[in-house]
Structure 1
């Protein structure tokens, strides 16, 4: 049985998506993390025009001895040809990591490489090939992944998929805590799956404000298959020369896994009491649906093989989540179609369409999950269930005619949009309005009552960003203690399938009216 999950679709009045954080050009930091090196090539002759200052530690050759030298001088001929093809060949080759042997005087280093072609130049990321432990062996990873995918197909809900995923990734990687986040419509993330060590804080069902993963960071997840920080206690490495000789600006590091991390995010990790982190996007229908976030109390740098396995695994999970959501949507649509068919029969068998529409057993209230419904037509008012007073509905119709089009209108926060609705929020915090003849004030109205919702945040979202007096320097919140917020004057949200059912019903009613008149 699935545990009760915190409400995802509830409308939160305040927008916690920070425009300030979302406007910071994270891709132009010109700094990398020190667990690898970055080389910039002139795309025309494949000479090295910019390198990270730590090349000597990994490759055994100083920046000055690398700059303006042909890359071919440091690689076996076959490997250089491979890079040349990746730089100048089809773009689908560029994201696949491969192995190279970098040959410097007196030293050979086997590295894992990735190539990122840009306009006029190309970037090569190199990381030392770590010895894969037995834990990371292909056979064991294959067995665990195979077992996980077979269990995944049996999961009955999105929540079960999320929980299976975090448990599998924790087992596969050894991270101390693995969380599955799902984004709500306002980009706040809610934890829907968790696997952790006993001594770590429990974040299940907590919501984290959108400013924790601002727009700029969310966009970069479409360019990077993962975001790895082996340790927050690192010294960023600069690129030399500072300005890219090809672009005449800071180098675009959007595609680079080694890209350095904003200081505020390293502070955020420290406040979470973790040293290493890795996050992987869950992308459905080309939209960022959520994240898998891995935390470790000490430094941790998973091998390239393991990272690649996780990249494939999250792709499988995304596909399974999409399939489950489609399955649930199809099931609900089928149920609503069945109710619509019965309601349609009533519309044509009753003396008046209003009688068929407002019937207690199979009526619009059942179809759209309403607490009350009203039909205002040809000067008459017919109601079913709990509805506002006649005068209140007339004023509501006037507001609808004045401020809305002649199309269907639905809201789960009516009192925040129409002030007078605050007087009857317990009856109509939610409204769906189906125009029959808007110019004449003829509508079918459906109401939902106020539902008080308590949202548990991981720390006070109003203190997610703390600015210093200079107006430029800022810090993340330093507490993740549960902060509860009660959302008022809000009804249960309208599902996409319910809106479709309402549109179909409106068409059926209009057709019935036309047939009666003509």
Structure 2
């Protein structure tokens, strides 16, 4: 959105709040380039330094006498910039105490694009306490209780005591961006806002992104006029103030605070796994200034609370994950022992219903429907399965609002508002489906979230989300509790266990030999076509393109096109070879021997480190028990998995890969872990499908065939493979080989 576009509630989610062109007026800003030449500055410097020239543009920072007169060195500011550039951080020097005409200021330096922000704030504060002295005691009291809600309540109370704002709230964001007050400490004369919800437009997406970068945000006085940033006429580039402490506030947000009668606000970001979990939002009903050092101490409180939240949440998730894992492990044992898939899934002490937190489930297998718990009735299920067959092509699907995609489900939303579908076989129409009942919610909004604007006496709309914050109650129906990441992982792993068991029994149970024979014949024909009818003309295209690139008369654009043709030909050739390799696996016979895995893994790692030119990658190798298998195929499995681990962990900056083998009662399990880009939870059930690549891996070289080949090799060895992964947290692939 252009910077001069009027901002209102129809486009506030696109407001360029990182380039406001002005700053809050409780400090002043000077911006220098790499040579310490002033390229921007705020127009309020004279109000802090009387007698200074009104326009400093184009001057060297060392030549501004008022900034250097009372300090040790005329070159002080440039030296600080040089030190920060050398350290690749200004954390060691921020804030730097500086004397300006006998008045103490804090200088905060931040890099932005090719410039450096020099922000000068008064070193005094409205806080009359030494925050650093009392922070230890306050943190101890915050963390005294392991209960998550009491932890939040303690935090709100301690921060209120420290900074003495009129109201301190802990505000948690939901997946859709709206927020809820989950803890509060306030003055006795104020109404409670505990439990109130606020729409996502109150803190739009671009503001939430900035809160992830700037962990504290002070608005000292909502009633002051911001100071404009001036620059030369030939420098029309808006200044990016993303890292700025003084960055001016959106006029929408200022009006929002005024409507709430708030005079000053201060927020501390709460981060969970690199995402914005919520805010410690502090409101004062009169102006309030907190100096930079005190804000940094407050940021430490937020970081400690973020760590505590992550620990508490991870601990809770781990307990849930372990419960689901135990259920799937037990079902897996039933599947291996029982001749009946249905009995193993539905008739034992532990059933598919225990693999997730659902109230009902059905297993659709071999033309029968077996119900567990609370489910729709038989007629409703038949209609639902007809819809599933015709509309859900994915192998895995989940929703917490079934009626929104299948309106007939509204009739039994009290039983099945939530659905999770795991496809065992598309061809045979076999599924496991879990159901969650409707969870009617009463949400208390701070004002009607569906009434974003109001008309004034002149018929114009206010630029504020609401003028009224009176409690407004909404009842939400037709939805269930969300399916958690742990439930999705558990269901995906259970499907692998069921598929494995079905495949083990497939030769005895299903009469597919003739169809399989025909498929192999068709595959042979297809492979021949690829080998001869596609690879030969592809080689011709590449050869002629290479000849043309040697023509010195080609224009640069034509040269680039020829080079792109060569790259495309190589990529297509790689795809053809991968498909041929995949198709040949079906006809390859296994020559199983005992394989000493230590030298195999060592040799692979040596080759891969050279191939990826990554000598600094940290590769940890644990125990490497021997396994039984075809040496060529097993080498291909580990080459692919270790190569992926290295390739996808390199973007992390500190790549680490761990390889570990564990002997079990029934065989050997190998795990290959990395700290790379990870896999989005929605793609986990599809990770071994042919040509399936994740959105976050599009820029990383690959064909989407490798893991399909690995899966096929493991299936031929009658083993198992599964994966556990989180986005931006890395992946762990497990391969199990059974004793022979």
Q: Same fold (TM over 0.5)?
A: yes
- Please give the residue correspondences for 1:302-451 in structure 2 after superposition, counting only pairs within 5 Å: 302-349=290-337, 352-359=340-347, 361-451=349-439
2:111 to 107, 117, 125: 117
Quote the Cα distance in structure 2 between the aligned partners of 1:508 and 1:116: 53
SS at match of 2:481: coil
- The change in CA–CA distance for 1:463 and 1:96 in structure 2 (over 3 A counts) is farther
- The change in CA–CA distance for 1:290 and 1:455 in structure 2 (over 3 A counts) is same
SS at match of 1:278: strand
2:471 to 456, 470, 482: 482
- The change in CA–CA distance for 1:156 and 1:168 in structure 2 (over 3 A counts) is same
Following superposition, the deviation at residue 180 of structure 1 comes to 0.7
SS at match of 1:235: coil
- Please give the residue correspondences for 1:2-401 in structure 2 after superposition, counting only pairs within 5 Å: 20-44=11-35, 46-64=36-54, 66-73=56-63, 74-75=67-68, 76=71, 77=73, 79-86=76-83, 88-93=85-90, 97-101=94-98, 103=100, 107-130=101-124, 135=129, 137=130, 141-241=131-231, 247-349=235-337, 352-359=340-347, 361-401=349-389
Quote the Cα distance in structure 2 between the aligned partners of 1:456 and 1:65: 52
Q: What TM-score does the superposition give when structure 1 sets the normalisation length?
A: 0.88
Quote the Cα distance in structure 2 between the aligned partners of 1:297 and 1:109: 28
Quote the Cα distance in structure 1 between the aligned partners of 2:417 and 2:311: 33
Give yes or no for contact 1:176–1:296 (8 Å, CA) kept in 2. yes
Following superposition, the deviation at residue 364 of structure 1 comes to 2.0
Following superposition, the deviation at residue 94 of structure 1 comes to 5.9
- Report the equivalent of 1:499: 488
Following superposition, the deviation at residue 338 of structure 1 comes to 2.3
- The change in CA–CA distance for 1:82 and 1:442 in structure 2 (over 3 A counts) is same
SS at match of 2:262: coil
Give yes or no for contact 2:324–2:354 (8 Å, CA) kept in 1. no
Quote the Cα distance in structure 2 between the aligned partners of 1:329 and 1:460: 34
User: Which structure has the larger Rg?
Assistant: 2
Task: Deviation per CA, 1:313-340: give whole Å up to 9, x if none.
Answer: 1111111111111111111111222233
Quote the Cα distance in structure 2 between the aligned partners of 1:330 and 1:96: 40
Give yes or no for contact 1:43–1:120 (8 Å, CA) kept in 2. yes
Give yes or no for contact 2:125–2:290 (8 Å, CA) kept in 1. no
- Report the equivalent of 1:8: none
- The change in CA–CA distance for 1:23 and 1:132 in structure 2 (over 3 A counts) is closer
- The change in CA–CA distance for 1:315 and 1:334 in structure 2 (over 3 A counts) is same
Quote the Cα distance in structure 2 between the aligned partners of 1:413 and 1:96: 52
SS at match of 2:192: coil
Task: Deviation per CA, 1:299-355: give whole Å up to 9, x if none.
Answer: 110122211100111111111111111111111111222233333344455563323
SS at match of 2:96: strand
SS at match of 2:307: helix
1:508 to 2:485 alignment = no
Aligned length: 491
Task: Deviation per CA, 1:454-488: give whole Å up to 9, x if none.
Answer: 11111111123457899986322012222111111
Give yes or no for contact 2:171–2:281 (8 Å, CA) kept in 1. yes
Q: What TM-score does the superposition give when structure 2 sets the normalisation length?
A: 0.62
Quote the Cα distance in structure 1 between the aligned partners of 2:386 and 2:226: 61
Following superposition, the deviation at residue 361 of structure 1 comes to 4.6
Give yes or no for contact 1:41–1:121 (8 Å, CA) kept in 2. yes
Task: Deviation per CA, 1:419-449: give whole Å up to 9, x if none.
Answer: 2212222221111112111222111121122
| Structure 2 gap ranges (5+) | 1-8, 508-740
Instruction: Indicate the structure whose relative CO is greater, using CA pairs within 8 Å and at least 6 residues apart.
Output: 1
- Report the equivalent of 2:515: none
Give yes or no for contact 1:79–1:100 (8 Å, CA) kept in 2. no
Following superposition, the deviation at residue 37 of structure 1 comes to 0.5
SS at match of 1:92: coil
Give yes or no for contact 1:244–1:251 (8 Å, CA) kept in 2. no
SS at match of 2:213: coil
Give yes or no for contact 1:101–1:108 (8 Å, CA) kept in 2. no
SS at match of 1:194: strand
Give yes or no for contact 2:104–2:123 (8 Å, CA) kept in 1. yes
- The change in CA–CA distance for 1:68 and 1:159 in structure 2 (over 3 A counts) is same
Task: Deviation per CA, 1:190-242: give whole Å up to 9, x if none.
Answer: 1111111111121111111110100121122233232111111101211234x
Quote the Cα distance in structure 2 between the aligned partners of 1:225 and 1:375: 48
Give yes or no for contact 2:173–2:277 (8 Å, CA) kept in 1. yes
Quote the Cα distance in structure 1 between the aligned partners of 2:34 and 2:15: 28
Following superposition, the deviation at residue 490 of structure 1 comes to 0.9
